[in-house]
Amino acid sequence: MKSKLLDAVLPHVPFDGWSDTALQAAAADCGVNIEISRATFPRGPVDMALAYHQRGDTAMVTRMQGADLGAMRYSDRIKAGVRLRLEVADRELVRKGMALFALPQNSAVGTGAVWGTCGLIWETLGDSSRDVNWYTKRATLSAVYSATILFWLGDDSEGSVDTWEFLDRRIDNVMRFEGFKQKAKDNGLVQAFMRGPGRILDQIKAPEKAPNGGQK
């Protein structure tokens, strides 16, 4: 029922947005009772837009699994995941969804949808991290993905070529920063420099010793 109603509502969204009006029109098209339709999407427009987003996530994973990503550099695999996600989306439906999820009462749901998409990209690429990297990878990709969506919504270049170039730059910037962090971590001079402030803080926090061996 959800899939049937979602198929029916999509043609109405460009005109009516993700709204109860669009749902009513879809229910009439399908011959489904409006109360049953509303029960199928309890939160109304939010659940409809989220169902469309999740359908896109499923299509993205299917395309990623069927693509030959093994020969690519890791950064190029990430780019491919983001690009495949946008290629299965309809620009106008996403634009209406962005407007809906920009509302304060819906922002947490929208943020969760983006986080879920980026998590699926990492998982489909084989990420199995369970430490802090699990969070940093998804947070970093969420920032890149969100910026790329905003650029894509305003992109009128042939084949969205400007969007893909924008995505390349964002991912390359992230990879350069990650490379810098790793080099800094492995650099003995940097490690010594970073240990210095730590020792100073330890001395500040440590209780001052009195001449007789007690503490002041």
Residues 6+ apart with CB under 8 A from 178: none
Residues 6+ apart with CB under 8 A from 41: 2, 5, 23, 47, 48, 51
Residue 201 main-chain phi, psi, to 5 deg? -65, -40
**CA 167/CA 147 separation, integer angstroms:** 9
pLDDT of the chain, 216 residues: tens digit per residue: 999 999 999 999 999 999 999 999 999 999 999 999 999 999 999 999 999 999 999 999 999 999 999 889 989 999 999 999 999 999 999 999 999 999 999 999 999 999 999 999 999 999 888 888 889 999 999 999 999 999 999 999 999 999 999 999 999 888 774 543 444 445 444 344 334 444 434 544 455 444 455 554
Instruction: Output the pLDDT for position 53.
Output: 98
Instruction: Output the pLDDT for position 70.
Output: 85
Q: Which domains are present in the chain?
A: 1-42 (no CATH), 45-205 (1.10.357)
Q: Minimal CA–CA distance to 119: which of 182, 60, 168, 76?
A: 60
